[in-house]
């Protein structure tokens, strides 16, 4: 489900404090601290809330698949600029060929 190491790594990845996760997941800061330190073992429902809050903040959880469980940033669902890779854009300032003869293409 969610390990203490994944929780710590996920928070670090998105620069969240325990307080940030607490506010987003509605789990007490003490519970998060105890879980991450290995002193507390919250129930599955509590871990689901923490994981959901982290996922909504952009964390992708990687399952154990021989290489070990982990976390990474999810790809953004939409880009702020046009990313049509099938179209070439030429900017006027780059149209001038100022390379010396024989410099290649």
**Span 56-89, pLDDT tens digits:** 999 999 988 778 889 999 876 554 545 555 555 5
Tell me the residue range of the domain where 31 lies.
4-73
* Residue 95 forms part of a structural domain: no
* Residue 92 forms part of a structural domain: no
* Residue 55 forms part of a structural domain: yes
Between CA 83 and CA 90, with CA 85 as vertex, the angle to 5 degrees is 90
Q: Is pTM, for the whole model, over 0.85?
A: no
Report the alpha-carbon distance of residue 25 to residue 46 in Å, rounded: 9
Domain count, the chain: 1
* Residue 51 forms part of a structural domain: yes
User: In this predicted structure, what is the pLDDT of residue 96?
Assistant: 63
Query: Which residue bears the tokens 């003869």?
Result: 101
Confidence bin at 100 (pLDDT 50/70/90): confident
């Amino acid at each position: 489900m969610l390990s203490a190491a994944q929780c710590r790594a996920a928070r670090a990845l998105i620069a969240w404090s325990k307080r940030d996760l607490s506010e987003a997941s509605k789990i007490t800061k003490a519970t998060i601290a105890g879980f991450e330190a290995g002193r507390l073992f919250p129930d599955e429902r509590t871990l689901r809330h923490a994981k959901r809050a982290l996922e909504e903040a952009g964390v992708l959880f990687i399952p154990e698949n021989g290489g070990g469980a982990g976390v990474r940033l999810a790809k953004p669902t939409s880009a702020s600029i046009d990313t049509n890779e099938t179209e070439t854009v030429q900017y006027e300032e780059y149209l001038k060929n100022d390379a010396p003869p024989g410099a290649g293409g």
